[in-house]
Amino acid sequence: MPEHHPLVDFSYLNELSGGDPGYIGAVLEIFLDTTPAGITQLEKLIKETDDWDAIYKQAHFLKSGVTIIKIKDLYEQFAEIEHLGRRRENRRRIEQLLDDIVATFNEVHPFLIEQRDKNKK
């Protein structure tokens, strides 16, 4: 069972896994393989393009990952970017949300790696 971090909630993952460390490690592996690159892609879309459709779709994709590995406020922040992207508005707010997401994810990333490694089979 993963350890505790004030910004990470593993309750849903624990429920899904039935406490199986191999399952937890596998889910964390997938999450860590896709989420950092996904955030980098979202950052690139927001800062370098006007592709609103790609922005909201990427935010939607990332939002689904944080339903299993709950990281404080990330679901709501991705949902807001998705909403604003669909409406093609408030680029400044989207950039602020992205900055918050990146800061939070960078803070929890080493912890998630540690938990993945501890739960690998």
Average pLDDT over residues 63-90: 96
121 is a domain residue = no
Containing domain of residue 60, as a range? 8-116
Residue 114: partners with Cβ closer than 8 Å, 6 or more residues away = none
CATH number of the domain enclosing 58: 1.20.120
1 is a domain residue = no
CA distance 72 to 66: 9
pTM of the shown model: 0.92
- Categorize the per-residue pLDDT at 4 as very low, low, confident or very high, splitting at 50, 70 and 90: confident
- Categorize the per-residue pLDDT at 7 as very low, low, confident or very high, splitting at 50, 70 and 90: very high
34 is a domain residue = yes
